[in-house]
């Protein structure tokens, strides 16, 4: 069991956990007080160190949660896609196009309709577009310098699998609202706890392990009798936990207390 006085977090994710002291993220390390610096230096592990400090703590050998790899791939669909291809993780056909000349090659690889995404920094379904024709393609291309095009899979729902530590802690269906191709809860997607396919859960857990991610919401879809990893969300929402009656803060307190994370 961890000594609660040594359970330190920087980001605010665990601010409501009774056994965690949250210090905040201060880019100038000397802005921390002497007492806070002592806590950081002497703590066995730092929780949610932020993308700013994650690499630094990792370089000095300090244990962190989530893993440094979790931070490195957060909100970067380009890096995630490259990693999926390297690891041969099933992922919808995707290509990245840089520069105006390469954009002209899009239609030699994809037929309408297809998906266009803002590849970095977008979340909650924003920055994802279903492109039906040349006009919509041109409108999308005006929004981003790096063009991220993905095969459109005609699905009406997908699965959000939340993995914390080394296990699946929660999973549920996300059902597209009427007239919407996206299933995001923030866009009106419905949460369902109908029976989930074990193969989808196994794929999500295997993906997280192989990618080195230990705090992530992985989106899985089924199409043509096969499951695909759509993307990984390191800043996943808690609506699914709330609807299932799971107290996220108590869950995290318990996992910290038990040494699971």
**What are the residue ranges spanned by the domains of the chain?**
4-64, 93-151, 157-257
| Amino acid 179: pLDDT | 85
CATH number of 93-151: 3.30.1490.20
pLDDT in tens, 51-87: 999 999 999 999 999 999 999 999 999 999 999 999 9
CB contact at 8 A, 176 and 156: yes
CATH architecture of 157-257: 2-Layer Sandwich (3.30)
CA–CA distance, 64 with 72 (Å, rounded to integer): 13
Letter string b/e over residues 164-201, b meaning 16 or more CB atoms within 10 A of that residue's CB:
bbeebbbbbbbbbeeeebbbbbebebebeeeebeeebb
Q: What is the mean pLDDT of residues 134-141?
A: 96
- pLDDT over 50 (residue 4): no
The CA angle 128-132-138, to the nearest 5 degrees, is: 75
- Sheet strands side by side (includes 146-151): 94-98, 146-151, 114-117, 128-131
What tens digit of pLDDT does each residue of 198-246 get? Answer: 999 999 999 999 999 999 999 999 999 999 999 999 999 999 999 999 9
82 Cβ neighbours under 8 A, 6+ residues apart: none
Distance of CA 48 to the CA centre of its chain: 14
Tell me, what's the pLDDT at 124? 61
Average pLDDT across the chain, whole number? 94
Residue 5 pLDDT > 60:
no
Q: How is residue 222 written in tokens?
A: 């089924």
Q: Find out whether 205 and 168 touch, Cβ atoms under 8 Å.
A: yes
Please give the pLDDT value at position 125. 58
């Amino acid at each position: 069991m961890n000594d609660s006085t040594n359970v330190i977090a920087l980001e605010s994710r665990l601010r409501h956990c009774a056994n965690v002291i949250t210090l905040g993220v201060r880019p100038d390390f000397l802005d921390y007080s002497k007492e806070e610096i002592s806590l950081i230096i002497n703590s066995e592990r730092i929780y949610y160190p932020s993308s700013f400090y994650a690499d630094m703590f990792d370089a000095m050998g300090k244990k962190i949660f989530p893993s440094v790899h979790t931070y490195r791939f957060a909100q970067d669909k380009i890096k995630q896609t490259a990693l999926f291809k390297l690891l041969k993780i099933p992922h919808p056909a995707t290509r990245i196009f840089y520069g105006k000349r390469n954009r002209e090659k899009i239609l030699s690889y994809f037929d309408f309709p297809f998906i266009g995404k803002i590849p970095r920094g977008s979340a909650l379904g924003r920055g994802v577009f279903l492109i039906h024709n040349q006009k919509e393609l041109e409108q999308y291309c005006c929004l981003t310098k790096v063009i991220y095009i993905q095969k459109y899979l005609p699905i009406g729902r997908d699965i959000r699998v939340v993995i914390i530590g080394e296990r699946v802690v929660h999973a549920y269906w996300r059902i597209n609202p009427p007239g919407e191709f996206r299933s995001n809860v923030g866009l009106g997607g419905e949460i369902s706890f109908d029976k989930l396919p074990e193969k989808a859960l196994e794929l999500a857990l295997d993906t997280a392990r192989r990618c080195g991610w230990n705090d992530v919401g992985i989106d899985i879809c089924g199409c043509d009798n096969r499951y695909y990893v759509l993307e990984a969300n390191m800043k996943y929402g808690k609506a699914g936990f709330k609807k299932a009656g799971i107290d996220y803060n108590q869950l995290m307190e318990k996992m910290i207390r038990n040494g699971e994370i």
